[in-house]
Structure 1
Amino acid sequence: MKKVRIGVIGAGLRSSLAHYWHKPDGESEIVALADLSEERQAKFQEKLGTALFLTKDYKELLTRDDIDAIAVLSPDFLHEEHVIACLEAGKHVYAEKPLAITVEGCDRILDAWKKSGKHLMVGFNMRYMSMYQTMKGLIDSGAIGDLKAVWVRHFVGFGGYFYYHDWHGNSKNTTSLLLQKASHDLDVIHWLSGKYATKVSAFGSLDYYGGEEPNTLTCPTCDKKDTCPEYVPHTFTECAFREEIDVEDNNMLIMELEGGIKASYLQCHFTPDYSRNYTFIGTKGRIENDDVNNKVYLKTRKQNSWQELSDVVYEMKPENGGHGGADPKIAQDFIELVLYNKEPLTTPFAGRMSVAVGCAATESIRNGGKVVEISQRSTIKQN
């Protein structure tokens, strides 16, 4: 195989990845799209500037000989069905996170992957951001000594816009936003520490969104739109205060990782700003990121060496491409996985484990904060 011919399922926000795969004169090319909306189909094809096979039925992609791989970019609750169907049809698969919305669903995907003999890659693009790769390098180098604690704060300034004006706000579609939104962060905690969570206790609630508005209400038709702080005029317009919303918008997790490392994760969806703040503390010092100013700080403590005499600030260089330059990198990694069997930065098991922690934390939240053990049933444990 000299070129990967890719079919896409879902022309939503993450379909922007297709731009990086569509290189008709290169090693990959988008050849087909399945999406229920003809309008989205037309816009997708127009952006790529190439005639594609278009369909509303994703199963039509599975039988086509001119498709080698499929990018599953559909809503979360469809990932399990779509990924398994693609693998069973003999296609390589790029799966957007979360891998599924239940641990059992992830395990069924991993079983199908092992049987298929095809490649499966999970879309954890934060592993490809230079900021977190810098932090990974510092931790692995021993700059902060033995890692003992992880603190993560996630200020989701666009939480309402991205998660409470559409299907994300209902748990039947997402389980909770600890899968959809936190899956990145939980994976980064696992990846940077080199350890998986073994148990979790969590508290959370729906403190701002949701309410008593009818489920059919949309922002453009609402008589409160001139004064509502959550009014949006386009794209996602379902009322953020409708009755069906039942996923927590304010969450706090404490976790114990393998080796006894303590970790915490805080997520709030009604903050005024958008930022992820990571702190990793070891026996010789700590590192902390500032993603607003694109910096990573290394601070050292007394250790009877020259290293205690200075702190270091790392400034991230600007990169082109979506998500701080991560999207073109992760897209290329998928192509090199399929063409050359080059292992990417992510693994299917890592995708499963972020879901496992999110599900366990959700169970804890909805049962008074009880401690929940993290299942590692799969026999293909990888970092």
Structure 2
Amino acid sequence: METVRLGIIGAGLRSGIARYWHNPGGKSVVVGAADVSEARLKAFQEKVNEHAFITTDYHELLARPDIDAVAILSPDYLHEEHAIAALRAGKHVYCEKPLAITVEGCDRIIEESKKAGKHLMVGFNMRYMSMYQTMKEIIDSGVIGDLKAVWVRHFVGYGGYFYYHDWHGTAENTTSLLLQKGSHDLDVIHWITGKYTKKVSAFGSLDYYGGDMPNTLTCPECEIKDTCPEATLNYFTQCAFRKEIDVEDNNMLIMELEDGIKASYLQCHFTPDYSRNYTFIGTKGRLENDDVNDKIYVKTRKSNSWHEFSDITYDMKKEEGSHGGADPKICRDFIELVLYNKQPLTTPFAGRMSVAVGCAATESIRSGGKVVEISQASTASLCE
């Protein structure tokens, strides 16, 4: 195989990354797409490949012999169904995070990939962002010593626009936004520390979104759209204060990782700003990022060496491409995985473990903050 021929399942917002895969005459080309919306499919053709095969039945896409690999870009609750179907059809699979909305779902996908003998890659594009790669290299260099503690604060500005005007707002579709939005951060904590979470205790609640508005109400038809603080007429249109919303809009997690590393993760969806603030503390110093101003700060402590005389500031360079240049890189890695068996920065097991932490934390939240232990053993192996 010299060129990977891709099919896309899910022609919504995330399908914009397909343009990085469509390189006629290069190593990959997008030849088809499936979505329940004909309008989205038509728009996909206009933006990516006007000659692409399109269908509202993803089974028709998977049945095509001219497709080698499939990118699963559909809503979270459909990832398991679509990924397993694609693997059984003999296709390599790129699956957006989260891999599934349950740990059992992740295990079933991973087991299916092993049976099929096909590659499975999880879309953790934060591993491909230069800021987090730089942070990992600094920590791996040993300049702040042995890691002992991690703090992460995620301010999700526009949380309503992103998550509460559509399907994301119900536990049935997401389990929790700790899987949807938080899976990135939980994975980066695992990746940079090199350790997985063993147990978690968490608190969270639905303090701003949700309410008593009809589930069928949309912003354009609402009587108070001119004064509602969450009204939007040009994006997802379901009311952000509708009755069915049951997913926490703020969460606080405390985690114990392997080797006794302690970590905390805070997420809020009704803050006015958007940023991710990471702090890592080791035995020789502290590293902290500022993603608003594209800087990383390394502060060192007295140690009877040169470390006590200097701190370091890293100025991040701008990169081309969506998600800070990460999307072109992760798309390239998937193609090189399929063509050359070159292992990417992500792994299916890492995808499984971020979901495991999100599910455990959700269980803790909804049971009053109890400590929940996390197993690295798959549910399939436990049943053998």
CA contact (8 A) 2:284 2:303 kept: yes
Q: Does 1:142 align with 2:157?
A: no
Amino acid of the residue matched to residue 41 of structure 2? Q
Amino acid of the residue matched to residue 24 of structure 1? P
Judging changes above 3 Å, is the alpha-carbon distance between structure 1 residues 296 and 379 closer, same or farther for their aligned structure 2 residues? farther
Residue in 1 aligned with 2:202? Answer: 202
Amino acid of the residue matched to residue 10 of structure 1? G
Residue in 2 aligned with 1:69? Answer: 69
CA contact (8 A) 1:8 1:71 kept: yes
Residue in 1 aligned with 2:83? Answer: 83
Judging changes above 3 Å, is the alpha-carbon distance between structure 1 residues 296 and 207 closer, same or farther for their aligned structure 2 residues? same
Q: Secondary structure at the match of 1:278?
A: strand
Count of aligned positions? 381
Residue in 2 aligned with 1:227? Answer: 227
Give the superposition deviation at 1:337.
0.3
Residue in 1 aligned with 2:307? Answer: 307
* Partners of 1:380 and 1:320 in 2: CA distance: 42
Q: Which runs of 5+ in 2 are unaligned?
A: none
* Partners of 1:99 and 1:19 in 2: CA distance: 22
* Partners of 2:48 and 2:359 in 1: CA distance: 37
- Please list the CA deviations of residues 8-28 of structure 1 after superposition, one character each: whole Å capped at 9, or x if unmatched: 000111101101000011000
Residue in 2 aligned with 1:2? Answer: 2
* Partners of 1:217 and 1:50 in 2: CA distance: 35
Q: Secondary structure at the match of 2:359?
A: helix
CA contact (8 A) 2:153 2:265 kept: yes
Give the superposition deviation at 1:50.
2.8
CA contact (8 A) 1:285 1:300 kept: yes
Residue in 1 aligned with 2:243? Answer: 243
Q: Secondary structure at the match of 2:323?
A: helix
CA contact (8 A) 1:45 1:51 kept: yes
- Please list the CA deviations of residues 203-252 of structure 1 after superposition, one character each: whole Å capped at 9, or x if unmatched: 00000000000000000000111111100002301000000000000100
* Partners of 1:117 and 1:144 in 2: CA distance: 41
Give the superposition deviation at 1:376.
1.0
Amino acid of the residue matched to residue 343 of structure 1? Q
Give the superposition deviation at 1:378.
3.1
CA contact (8 A) 2:107 2:380 kept: no
Residue in 2 aligned with 1:177? Answer: 177
* Partners of 1:226 and 1:349 in 2: CA distance: 47
Amino acid of the residue matched to residue 34 of structure 2? A
Matches within 5 A, 1:232-381: 232-378=232-378
Judging changes above 3 Å, is the alpha-carbon distance between structure 1 residues 58 and 326 closer, same or farther for their aligned structure 2 residues? same
* Partners of 1:190 and 1:254 in 2: CA distance: 14
* Partners of 1:246 and 1:49 in 2: CA distance: 39
CA contact (8 A) 1:86 1:93 kept: yes
Percent of aligned positions that are identical? 77
* Partners of 1:206 and 1:63 in 2: CA distance: 43
* Partners of 1:288 and 1:48 in 2: CA distance: 38
Q: Does 1:43 align with 2:43?
A: yes
- Please list the CA deviations of residues 71-117 of structure 1 after superposition, one character each: whole Å capped at 9, or x if unmatched: 00000000001001111111000000000000000010111011111
Q: Secondary structure at the match of 1:323?
A: coil
Residue in 2 aligned with 1:159? Answer: 159
CA contact (8 A) 2:219 2:239 kept: yes
Scaled by the length of structure 2, what TM-score is found?
Answer: 0.98
Amino acid of the residue matched to residue 260 of structure 1? G
Q: Which runs of 5+ in 1 are unaligned?
A: none
Q: Does 1:106 align with 2:131?
A: no
Residue in 1 aligned with 2:23? Answer: 23
* Partners of 2:258 and 2:350 in 1: CA distance: 14
Give the superposition deviation at 1:308.
1.9
Judging changes above 3 Å, is the alpha-carbon distance between structure 1 residues 205 and 379 closer, same or farther for their aligned structure 2 residues? closer
Residue in 2 aligned with 1:123? Answer: 123
* Partners of 1:12 and 1:315 in 2: CA distance: 34
Amino acid of the residue matched to residue 247 of structure 2? V
Scaled by the length of structure 1, what TM-score is found?
Answer: 0.98
Judging changes above 3 Å, is the alpha-carbon distance between structure 1 residues 139 and 79 closer, same or farther for their aligned structure 2 residues? same
CA contact (8 A) 2:284 2:300 kept: yes
* Partners of 2:379 and 2:99 in 1: CA distance: 17
* Partners of 1:93 and 1:235 in 2: CA distance: 29
Give the superposition deviation at 1:49.
4.0
Give the superposition deviation at 1:304.
1.1
CA contact (8 A) 2:30 2:49 kept: no
CA contact (8 A) 1:349 1:380 kept: no
- Please list the CA deviations of residues 165-191 of structure 1 after superposition, one character each: whole Å capped at 9, or x if unmatched: 000001000000000000000000000
* Partners of 2:259 and 2:14 in 1: CA distance: 36
Q: Secondary structure at the match of 1:198?
A: strand
* Partners of 1:12 and 1:308 in 2: CA distance: 51
Q: Secondary structure at the match of 2:325?
A: helix
* Partners of 2:132 and 2:103 in 1: CA distance: 26
* Partners of 2:41 and 2:297 in 1: CA distance: 44
- Please list the CA deviations of residues 134-170 of structure 1 after superposition, one character each: whole Å capped at 9, or x if unmatched: 0000111101100000000000001000000000001
* Partners of 1:281 and 1:126 in 2: CA distance: 21
Q: Secondary structure at the match of 1:322?
A: coil
Q: Secondary structure at the match of 1:161?
A: helix
